[in-house]
Structure 1
Amino acid sequence: MEYVKFGRTGMEVSRLVLGCMSFGDASRGDHAWTLDEAASREIIKQALEAGINFLDTANAYSDGTSEEIIGRAIKDYARRDEIVLATKVFMRMHAGPNGAGLSRKAIFAEIDNSLRRLGTDYVDLYQIHRWDFDTPIEETLEALHDVVKAGKARYIGASSMATWQFAKAVYTSRLNGWTPFVSMQNHLNLLYREEEREMLPFCRDQELAVIPWSPLARGRLTRAWDETTSRLETDKIGRSLYVESDAQIVERVGAIAQARGIPRAQVALAWLLQKPGVTGPIIGATRAQHLVDAVAALSVKLTDEEIKDLEAPYTPHEVSGITVIR
């Protein structure tokens, strides 16, 4: 396993992040394809044994059951101080007023709820899951600062928003002397590269860590375009993210994988790992082979010609995964 500094911080993280949206009670939340606790624990154990020290979840994943599973697994399989544990806040957690968003009230309630489910006194990275148009950013940032000062989080990060929104948050924190952002978790893969326009250059300029979600495009980059899976058939969000023209890129991934004699997943992940400014992709593993391929991808170095070949068919996409305007 390779380890790098997390942006401009002194914290060391594995170059692969274990994404934990795949873990949880399938009867709760919007993900019918999640693994139950027994299967989830096997994946978590395998990841830790492979040297992955960074786990990312969210309070909303499977209605909090993802956090519960992770908390119990960490207690059994690792020392807490060896793990970089990240979670998020914003999505709706209960009906009625104050059940979602980034108000001071919501943040204070949800950090305590997350810590209780995770069975820990602190998280290493606390991330705002989206931009909240209904709460002044100053209120959100001061609340996050107070969460850090209370010892409940070590660092703060953000996920999936427009660059102007993230820049506003970054500079507002600095102007007020509040805890600075250290990372961006965004949507980036061979099929969706809109983040290359502004977000990636901004993060590189500001020395902010980048941990992309969906590095394999919900599995689209791991198989032929016309192949389907049960997850693809039930994943409403996933079906809306990619378009028919992406099939050309998928075909080129397959051609390079065949020429090298390696799985497609390794080619797609190698491309992302070689992208300047990317700290490490978030791997949403549901089978042991997913982690095997991810670790192997660390040793795959694509040539300049292969990278050009993979990138050439790309066409601009509608912005997805964020809310730019209300």
Structure 2
Amino acid sequence: MAQTYSNGLSEVILGKAIKQLQLPREEIVILTKVYFTVAREYETSMSTSRGDPDQNGYVNQHGLSRKHIFDSVKASLARLGVDYIDVLQCHRFDYKTPIDETMQALHDVVKAGYVRYLGMSSCHAYQFHQMQNYAITHNLTPFISMQNHHNLLYREEEREMFPTLKLFGVGAIPWSPLARGLLTRPKEEQTKRGATDWFNNRYLEALGTPEIIKRVEELANKKGLSMAQIAVMWSLSKEGVTAPIVGTTSMKNLEQLIDVANMKLNQEEMKYLEEAYVAQAVLGHL
């Protein structure tokens, strides 16, 4: 989750669910993010909140400055209706704010009791290394997780980021392990999401995509599982991956993915799925 999703409405919905269902707070791990702007109205287009914030009338309401980190965290707590956030993640790397300011502010929201742990998301390995090393050498709160873009159709994170995470003992919680649905169905099968999601075109442009999807389907049929289950099993079989972040539209789909949470593919199956991959440009970072 992120405070910018639906301009804060996602946090409001989660907060209401926790209260109405009387869910024990100690049994819930809440992760949200800070970086992007939250528009004043839910209906405002995401392109507006992610455009030039200053020109759109959102001065100081973006990035990883000390002011925005504190303001964003307090606003998230209010929307969620809770006393603390379990993991606060930096949604992107901020090129305009000094790292020392960002890491000190993140440490201070932890010391203030607003946040329990810190995480990073979607940045280059050298940026993560720089931020993490600053925190460690200055006795500040370090990152404990990296939410990065990683799936069978996009594996560039394995070149630099995964070795860096291993160096620091940080777990990966990949976003889009199902490649926005492309790994859940045969390539020829059309869905509304597939027809309207511009991001899918980036996957489809990669040379290895058709063959990889075909192999996921073949392995799923062989093992009597769904393609989504195979994609998640592959993700969980990668060293350092702790919790792939999936999105579903039904309880049945969610239950299917939970069923394979403790299952992994063997080396032969992993090789079969991976060998068709072709290197591509970085996708998902700023």
TM-score computed with the length of structure 1 as normaliser:
0.79
Q: Give the deviation of 1:181 after TM superposition.
A: 1.0
Equivalent in the alignment of 2:7? 63
Distance 2:76 2:123 in 1: 22
2:250 counterpart of 1:305: no
Q: Is 1:211–1:280's contact at 8 Å kept on the other side of the alignment?
A: yes
Structure 1 vs Structure 2 CA RMSD: 1.3
Identity of aligned residues (%): 47
- Contact between 2:206 and 2:280, CA under 8 Å: does it hold in 1? no
- Does structure 1 residue 87 correspond to structure 2 residue 49? no
Q: Give the alignment partner of residue 75 of structure 1, picking from 16, 19, 31.
A: 19
Q: Secondary structure at the match of 2:107?
A: helix
| Preserved contact between residue 267 and residue 300 of structure 1 (Cα < 8 Å) | no
1:299 Cα offset (Å): 4.6
TM-score, structure 2 length as denominator? 0.90
Residue equivalent to 2:176: 214
In structure 1, the partner of 2:81 is 119
Contact conserved, 2:174 with 2:243, CA < 8 A, in 1? yes
Q: 1:299 to 1:156 in 2, by over 3 A?
A: closer
Match of 2:234 in 1: 271
1:205 maps onto 2:167 in alignment: yes
- Aligned 8 A contact 2:121 2:147 in 1: yes
Q: What secondary structure, in the 3-state scheme, does the structure 2 residue paired with 1:283 have?
A: coil
What is the DSSP-based 3-state SS (H/G/I as helix, E as strand, rest coil) of the residue aligned with 1:125?
A: strand
SS of the counterpart of 2:157? Answer: helix
| Alpha-carbon offset, residue 302 of structure 1 | 1.8
Residue 78 of structure 2 is aligned to residue 134 of structure 1: no
More moved, 86-95 vs 248-257: 86-95
- Specify which of 167, 182, 193 is matched with residue 231 of structure 1: 193
Q: AA paired with 2:82? A: T
Distance 1:229-1:96 versus aligned 2 partners, 3 A rule? same
Distance in 1 (alpha carbons) for counterparts of 2:134 and 2:266: 41
Deviations 1:233-286 (A, max 9, x none): 222234334425201000000001111111111111111111111111011122
Distance (whole Å) between structure 2 residues aligned to residue 158 and residue 266 of structure 1: 26
Shift of 1:146: 0.8
Counterpart of 2:218? 255
SS in 2 for 1:62: helix
Report 1:27-176 matches (<5 A). 57-77=1-21, 78-94=23-39, 95-176=57-138
Distance 1:148 1:255 in 2: 47
Matched, 1:290 2:253: yes
Contact 2:146-2:170 within 8 A present in 1 as well: yes
Tell me the CA shift for residue 98 of structure 1.
Answer: 1.0
In structure 1, distance between residues paired with 2:138 and 2:194: 44
2:148 aligned partner, one-letter code:
N
Contact 1:72 1:118 in 2 (8 A): yes
- Are 1:314 and 2:277 an aligned pair? yes
Contact 2:31/2:85, CA 8 A, preserved across alignment: yes
In structure 1, C-alpha distance between the alignment counterparts of 2:204 and 2:69, rounded to whole Å: 33
Identify the structure with bigger relative contact order (alpha carbons < 8 Å, sequence gap 6+). 1
Which residue of 2 is the match for residue 16 of structure 1? none
Write the distance in 2 (CA, Å) between the matches of 1:244 and 1:197: 17
Is the contact between residue 172 and residue 242 of structure 2 (CA under 8 Å) also seen in structure 1? yes
Q: Does 1:190 align with 2:134?
A: no
Contact residue 241 and residue 320 of structure 1 kept, 8 A: no
Distance of 1:300 and 1:157 partners within structure 2: 26
Q: Give the counterpart letter for 2:14 in structure 1.
A: I
